[in-house]
């Protein structure tokens, strides 16, 4: 089980399952939404995600058609994205985890759009856009 929370601690969650591979996204939307060089996220099964507290603090911004970025309205921490549909896709912002992760990042996507001020020295595959 994994536990996580936002910066102010009002939002707390648990994941009763495994995380998907860690992906780093360098697209401009992710850079802006997180105020940093890239987003670190992992897919989680929505059925295994349990909000422990802070439901009333959740804000939701549709950054592109069908993609909702969910954050804490009190402290601004980005928490996860949600793409509704027949199979809801939920991507957790893993920087909000309180449980330490052993896994390393598996891939970089939209690497062509990366911030020029940070050098990457890892061996994870780097895709110019989204891998097919």
CB of 93 to Zn ion, least distance (A): 11
Q: Is 10 in the site for Zn ion (CB under 5 A)?
A: yes
Structure tokens, 54: 């802070």
Q: Is 58 in the site for Zn ion (CB under 5 A)?
A: no
Smaller CB distance to Zn ion: residue 47 or 60?
Answer: 60
CB of 47 to Zn ion, least distance (A): 24
Q: Report helix, strand or coil for 113.
A: helix
Pairing of strands 89-93, 107-109: unpaired
Give the strand order in the sheet containing 78-83: 58-64, 67-72, 78-83, 89-93, 39-44, 22-25, 107-109
Q: Is 74 in the site for Zn ion (CB under 5 A)?
A: yes
Give, as ranges, the residues between 27 and 46 that touch Zn ion (CB under 5 A): 27, 30
């Amino acid at each position: 089980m994994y536990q996580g929370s936002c910066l102010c601690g009002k939002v707390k969650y648990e994941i009763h399952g495994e995380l998907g591979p860690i992906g780093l996204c360098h697209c401009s939307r992710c850079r802006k939404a997180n105020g940093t060089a890239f987003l670190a996220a992992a897919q989680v099964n929505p059925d295994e995600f349990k909000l422990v507290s802070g439901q009333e603090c959740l804000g939701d911004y549709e950054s592109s058609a069908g993609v909702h970025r969910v954050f804490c309205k009190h402290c601004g921490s980005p928490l996860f994205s949600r793409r509704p549909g027949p199979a809801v896709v939920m991507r957790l912002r893993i920087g909000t985890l309180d449980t330490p992760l052993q896994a390393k990042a598996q891939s970089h996507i939209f690497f062509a759009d990366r911030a020029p001020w940070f050098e990457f020295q890892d061996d994870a595959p780097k895709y110019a856009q989204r891998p097919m």
